Amino acid sequence: MKPESIVTVKELDRFEEILDVRSPAEFAEDHVPGAVSCPVLDDEERARIGTIYAQQSPFQAKKLGAALVSRNIARHIEERFLARGRDWRPLLYCWRGGQRSGAFAHVLRQIGWHVATLEGGYRAYRRAVLAQLDELPASCAFKVICGATGSGKSRLLEALHAQGAQVLDLEALARHRGSVLGDLPQEAQPSQKMFDTLVWDRLRRFDPARPVFVEAESRRIGLVQVHPGLLERMRGGECLVIEVPVAERVGFLMDQYRHFLDDPEGLKAKLSGLKELYGHEVIERWLAQADARAWHALVPDLLKNHYDPAYLRSTVKNFRQYHKAEPVRLDRLDAASLQRAAKELTGNREPAVAPHG
């Protein structure tokens, strides 16, 4: 029988505070949602102990490791936990649920706190996330928001969320707009593992009795990929298609991608990467428009000759119900218009929360 102080991934929500005692680099790559980083060895210390273990002796490594771990545990207690009351009940985990979390948990228990550790540590957590990413999408009835580039799909998802709808905004989780120009300025994407965790954490909280709105995405969003099980389920979902006048889309895109308008050289570098698809003549035309800052010529040109044909081909091929998609017609992409559309799609009369933007 498993000791009461050792819990499984299914029991994570029982704890008001979760402590990740792995190194900062391990934590940065991925961690349990809401966990706090409390490393018992920092990155340099962990590498140093590993080198001594491999090149000198396990005994020498354990001696130094014990001294470093003890010092770091003491520092965390002094800096973070002295104000915690007797009823504090944290969950701790490390890589395998072994020495690092065991040492920290032992000290906290000696103080008098009821401490639990995660069975199998982060490694077991990661296996559970991947397994549930295969299973959870099957319980979701997806409504897939389709629409050409610049039709405000992400903005509509925000408006739907404000109405209380269940929304899985994959581009927001990936911190990327999902196209060749989709990088967000001054914002790095999460690791693949962290992206998986964020998606899993959303999926596990959805009510299977209610629809989940999601944008039609390709397999890759910037540097991360959508889990195959989720992608396959999305591709079978009911489709909605936003229809917006081209002029409105152009204005919307110029506002959304203003960082490229302020940095034509960065835009030109991205466009140059499309030379194999479109040839020298087309790329040179786009580059000349960028040099001249002729945005009202360049943006419609890109939509007509790159984005719209590519999006339509991909969506028709991959989303099986696209041919019978329900149209969502918008003359404007302002907050009021998006709110009205979201209210119609959810059947709400009043917004649950003020919409974003």
Residue 187: predicted pLDDT: 81
Q: Which residues are CB-neighbours of 340 under 8 A, at least 6 positions away?
A: none
**Looking at residue 20, what DSSP letter applies?**
E
Q: Is the pLDDT of residue 171 over 50?
A: yes
Q: Is the pLDDT of residue 349 over 80?
A: no
Comparing 160-174, 278-292, 319-333, 339-353, which segment has the lowest mean pLDDT?
339-353
C-alpha 57/C-alpha 76 separation (Å) is: 28
Local confidence band at 356 (pLDDT 50, 70, 90 cut-offs): very low
- 221: which 2 tokens? 């969003």
Work out the average pLDDT over 131-151: 96
Residue 177: predicted pLDDT: 79
C-alpha 343/C-alpha 341 separation (Å) is: 5
Residue 4: predicted pLDDT: 58
pLDDT tens string 221-279: 999 999 999 999 999 999 999 999 999 999 999 988 787 788 888 888 889 988 888 89
pTM over 0.85: yes
Comparing 45-49, 111-115, 306-310, which segment has the lowest mean pLDDT?
306-310
Residue ranges of domains in the chain, CATH in brackets: 6-130 (3.40.250.10), 140-346 (3.40.50)
Catalytic residues: 94
